[in-house]
Structure 1
Amino acid sequence: MMLDDFMTRAALAGIGTALAAAPLGCFVVWRRMAYFGDATAHAAILGVALSLAFSLPVFAGAMAVALVMATIVSTISGRGYAMDTLLGVMAHSALAFGLVGVTFLSGVRIDLMAYLFGDILSVSRADLAVIWCGAALVIALIVWRWNALLTATLNEGLARAAGIDPWRERLVLTLALALVVAVAIKVVGVLLITALLIIPAATVRPLSATPERMGVLAALVAMASALAGLLASYRLDTPTGPTIVCVAALLFCLSSTLSGTRRPSM
């Protein structure tokens, strides 16, 4: 069958992850939430350690801890610490505790590099189902709340006047971000998830006249990066996750060169 081919499974995993990450990445860029995404992604390693310790699915553990981390950061932000300082402390602390926790798991064999940098070539049918179900949930959330999310992103005062609760929309973004982290951990790993969120959105930002166009173009760039990076890593025998991010970075450089000094519309 077609899915018996590991390259086909890897390509489908890359496309699913790209479809989930890129539109959400637009909101990450618009809201300047790069550090927020980093903290959430780094926390996923602690979720991996807890999942293995309690014999739970890695997806569930990574998503749960990422969601908890995102919620904590949202709750305690603005309480005496600058946001970048708070996110730096939370991100690296969660990553360190996760890495230390893995060493205490006796009798459990774990390829830590696969979780840090991804291992898309080992994606199974079950992983593929998880990735596409997670991607579908993220896309459904974004489509359902698109207008409200956009209004709250542009102006919270305007959102309140329109009867939209900005805190609720942040919660939707938090949930979507946790889902993307759990989906992408197998493809690009926790250290590169934020790059997959931000780079495609940043690439198309100068070329997009509307938010909707930016979301669609970001998804196309992310998918192209995933497929081209997968092919390049196969031909050049390089790590797949980092290669995907390298392709995305090259596309960003090309976009920046073509757009010149033109200012983005969002």
Structure 2
Amino acid sequence: MSEQKKVSAVVVTYNRLDLLKQSLEALFNQEYPLSHIIVVDNKSEADTKEYLESLGDKIDYLRLEENLGGAGGFNRGVRYFAEHTDDDYVWLMDDDTMAHPDTLAKFMDFANEKPEFSFLASKVLWKDGSLAKMNVMHYMNNKLIPATETKPVQTRNATFVSLLVSRAAVEAVGLPITDFFIWGDDIEYTERAARFMPGYFVPAAQVTHATKGNVGSSLLNDSADRTPRYYYHYRNKIYYARQRDWYRKLRAEVRPWLDYVQISFSKTENKKGKLAIIRKGVKAGFNFNPVVETVKKEK
């Protein structure tokens, strides 16, 4: 009998203590036991710090000196996995990801049968059991994977809401890009990994994404106070589009201008600000050349 593979979980958190407690409790109760639970804290308030410190050696606690966004948090967490553990896989998630008791076991069933992969992605549900619109998945032909799909299928990209990544992939392609800060770091990272080895959607490995509402990201419909963060959305999208084949690159580069036209003819609040953020983000994306960090296992 082969030795059981070891898995680290990485949870990135920032000032959402109630959700974090639920997320960690789900990890503590996995049917397939975790070797390490690495919590990356983007300098949350004192209540989060105190709670995480109270867990002692139940977790590996990484408190950052500044908020590096989700992208920086995942960068630090994956680096810790690669350089400070001997685990075979790293399981990535936000602090509002609620794993089901058998989520990791279902991932490992697939991994034991088909170990040649870069990443495995969960079927992500919302709180009412429907598909989470923020985390929809696509077949290789870009068609949406429906809720009725029951078999594992290959996919080009996925989100960091329950993503199992192999050590081989991390060592081959490096780390998530800190400079993304937020938005698109997971799409870029999984597309980079999928160019090394195939990635798969595993519908049996399910999680719940405990967002306030089941909506996707939309500058058109989002509130005016959230407009500035869409700079990262458009800048980062243009960057990772540049790494794609010509057809998918063209589609991605056209999409911001479709948003621009739609917003131009809408009655959305803060229209001028939203149009300006698209222009600013797209312009920055063509000159954005962040460093892709690599990892080195400590001896």
The normalised TM-score by structure 1 is 0.27
**Bigger share in helix:** 1
TM-score (norm 2): 0.25
Flag the structure with higher strand content. 2
* Higher Rg of the two aligned structures: 2
User: Higher relative contact order by CA 8 Å / sep ≥ 6: 1 or 2?
Assistant: 1
